[in-house]
Amino acid sequence: MEYEDLRISKLREYLFGVINTLTENRNYQINADMLSNDIDNYSLDKIPTASVVERWIMGIEIHRDVYSFRSRMAYSQDTIDNLSNIGFFEQFENAIKTNNDEGILPNIDNIQSIECLNCGTLNNTDGVTAEFNIQIQITYRK
């Protein structure tokens, strides 16, 4: 199987579109399981969870994948900068919800929904940069 056919790859492509609507910065990367020390950098990390959500008597199953979407952003003691960082995740969460409501979903076979499970939160900081994290869940029929 080619990596382009993987759910995580298709979700990554979808997230490029979401981020492009939220920022004018096109100099960023979405990595997998790797967040560099550079600002405006993202990582999509799969979280181990039970994948089966529902089993139907007809043999159909509803599955889920949960991902941690992490970012490294500029950080300072300036309230405006930090409000901007949190504001990005509020806009990100709203964009995901709006897309889901409008049926704009990642190009994943039998996908049913995508949603943010929490708001973006600050994980840690070195005083100059900060790591933020938001969990994303996709559900799909298998």
Question: What does the pLDDT read at residue 1?
Answer: 54
Residues 6+ apart with CB under 8 A from 133: 68, 69, 70, 71, 120, 121, 123
Residue 10 near residue 32 (C-beta atoms within 8 A) = no
The CATH number of the domain holding residue 124 is 3.30.2000.10
Q: What pLDDT is recorded for position 3?
A: 65
10-residue mean pLDDT series, the chain (142 residues): 80 93 80 88 91 82 94 84 84 95 95 93 86 95 90
pLDDT of residue 137: 97
Structure tokens of 126?
């070195």
Domains held by the chain: number? 1
pLDDT in the model for residue 112: 95
The predicted pLDDT at position 141 comes to 92
Q: Quote the domain boundaries for residue 54.
A: 3-141
pTM: 0.88
